[in-house]
Every structure is written in C-alpha cells, then in structure tokens.
C-alpha cells in the first residue's frame, strides 16, 4: 500500500490485537468456569500481592537485561559507525539463538511449573534436564551453522564491505554465544516456571555487576573484542548465578 514506516506500525498494531483476540478465543473454556465471575476470588488480596511481587521481580530483571544491551550498543558506538553497524548485524545472531532456544525454555517453564505445583521433585529434575539437553543439541547445531555459514548470513544482512569485514572479524564470538548463553536461557525458563523470581532478580543484579567489571577491564586493551567478551561473560554469569540457586529449588520440593 506504500504506507512506509506508518505501515509497519499499523501492521504491528493489527498483529498485536489479532494475537489478543486469538488468546481470548482459546480461553473460552476458562470463561465458562464460574469462579472468574467472583470479584472476591479474582481480586483476592494475598494473591494480588503475590502476583505483584512476582511481576516486580521480573520487571526489574528485564530492565537490567535491556540495560546491558543498551550499554553494549552505547559502548560499541564509541568505536565508530562501521563497528556500530557490524555489532548490529552480529546481534541478529543472538536473536536467532534466542528464538531457537525460547521454545525449549518455554517447555521447561511449563513442565517445571507443573512439577512445582505437584511438589514432584523427580518430575521437576527430569523436566529441567530433558529440556536442557534438547537445548544443548539446538545450540550445538546453531554454533556449527554459524561457524560454517556465518559469513553468508553477514553478507545477506550487510552490503557495505567495511561492515562485512568488521562483522566477520568478530564472527567467532557468535559461534561461542549460543554455548555461553545456554544455561542462562534454560534456567530462566525453569526459574520462571517455579516462580522463583526473587532468585532471578538477584542473579541478574550480580550478573550486571560482572558485566560492568568485565567491560571496564577488557574494552580498553581489546576494543570491540573486549566488549563482546564482556557480553559473553555476562551470559556465563547469568548461568552460573542461577545454577548456584537451582539446588535450592529442588530442596524446596522435598
């Protein structure tokens, strides 16, 4: 229709409301249950406070996560337009990884939540391990694909020779990124399913501090490579900090 950027906005609006309408349609069986018509049950004070606390933890965790990526782009901009553009291209590799792993993380979230509700520690452990093993297989394929075809992907996303060269110079970081981020992605799903959001919040605070220290230490001597190293150290820190709290989740189901 030739609407330009406005057309993108309209398409996004249509997609969002279509998704909301489809979600309501799929929830029809729940609307037949009489409990949702009871204001006392829907607005139960203790449940509302619990939900607010959970959402607050997730909000803070998400703000900190986005803050790290904003800081990454801000710091990368200091290396010039070519490096900034190359980093933007390389971030698409992370998006591909995130979309691929989200399916396994969502399954871990649902299965872990069911196990927590049933107080079934063995089921919780099995769901966590199996989902993570499938995730490991996925990231192994992604890492191999990026190693073999990453240059082609860069060429598809960038046309400027200087940007292509800068992105290719940092391609090894993209090969390592899926492996570095696996634990963080999977444990995010597990902890959300278990509603252990306070642990997620605290782990993110520690991980952001690790990212800040790593960036301050590595960027001056290594430039943009140091920035990417700091980002992947951030991924590892998220996995380690959440992993250290995982045994407590299992103990809570005993």
At residue 214, the pLDDT reads 98
Question: What does the pLDDT look like over 204-247, one tens digit per residue?
Answer: 999 999 999 999 999 999 999 999 999 999 999 999 999 999 99
DSSP string for residues in 97-142: HHHHHHHHHHHHHHHHHHHHHHT-HHHHHHHHHHHHHHHHHHHHHH
At residue 34, the pLDDT reads 75
Q: Which residues contact 123 (CB under 8 A, 6 or more apart)?
A: 111, 114, 115
Q: Compute the distance between CA of residue 105 and CA of residue 100 in angstroms, rounded to an integer.
A: 9
Mean pLDDT of 112-139: 92
Q: Which residues contact 169 (CB under 8 A, 6 or more apart)?
A: none
CA distances from 244 to 16, 101, 230 (A): 37, 21, 21
Is the pLDDT at 164 greater than 90? The verdict is yes
* Single pTM value for the model: 0.86
At residue 166, the pLDDT reads 96
Question: What does the pLDDT look like over 176-199, one tens digit per residue?
Answer: 999 999 999 999 999 999 999 999
Lowest-pLDDT range of 28-42, 83-97, 124-138:
28-42
Mean pLDDT of 104-118: 90
Mean pLDDT of 15-24: 94
Average pLDDT, rounded, for the chain: 92
- Plot region of 195 (φ>0 → left; ψ -120 to 50 → alpha; else → beta): left
Is the pLDDT at 28 greater than 90? The verdict is no
Q: Compute the distance between CA of residue 193 and CA of residue 196 in angstroms, rounded to an integer.
A: 8
Mean pLDDT of 158-164: 95
Q: How many CB atoms lie within 10 A of CB 178?
A: 28
Q: Between 252 and 207, where is the model more confident?
A: 207
At residue 41, the pLDDT reads 73
């Amino acid at each position: 229709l030739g609407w330009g950027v406005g057309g993108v906005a309209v398409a996004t609006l249509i997609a969002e409301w279509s998704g909301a309408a489809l979600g309501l349609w799929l929830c029809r069986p729940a609307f037949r249950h009489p409990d949702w018509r009871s204001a006392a049950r829907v607005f139960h004070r203790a449940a509302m406070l619990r939900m607010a606390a959970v959402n607050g933890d997730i909000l803070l965790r998400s703000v900190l996560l986005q803050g790290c990526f904003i800081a990454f782009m801000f710091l990368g901009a200091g290396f010039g337009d070519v490096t900034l553009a190359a980093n933007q291209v390389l971030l698409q590799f992370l998006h591909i990884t995130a979309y691929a792993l989200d399916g396994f993380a969502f399954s871990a979230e649902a299965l872990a939540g069911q196990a927590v509700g049933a107080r079934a520690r063995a089921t919780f452990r099995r769901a966590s391990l199996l989902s993570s093993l499938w995730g490991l297989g996925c990231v192994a394929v992604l890492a191999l694909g990026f190693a073999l075809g990453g240059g082609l992907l860069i060429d598809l996303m960038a046309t400027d020779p200087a940007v292509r060269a800068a992105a290719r110079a940092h391609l090894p970081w993209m090969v390592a990124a899926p492996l570095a981020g696996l634990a963080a992605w999977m444990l995010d799903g597990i902890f959300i399913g278990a509603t252990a959001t306070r642990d997620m919040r605290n782990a993110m605070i520690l991980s952001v501090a690790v990212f800040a220290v790593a960036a301050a230490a590595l960027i001056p001597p290594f430039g943009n490579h140091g920035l990417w190293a700091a980002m992947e150290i951030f991924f590892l820190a998220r996995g380690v900090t959440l992993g250290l709290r995982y045994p407590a989740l299992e103990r809570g189901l005993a």
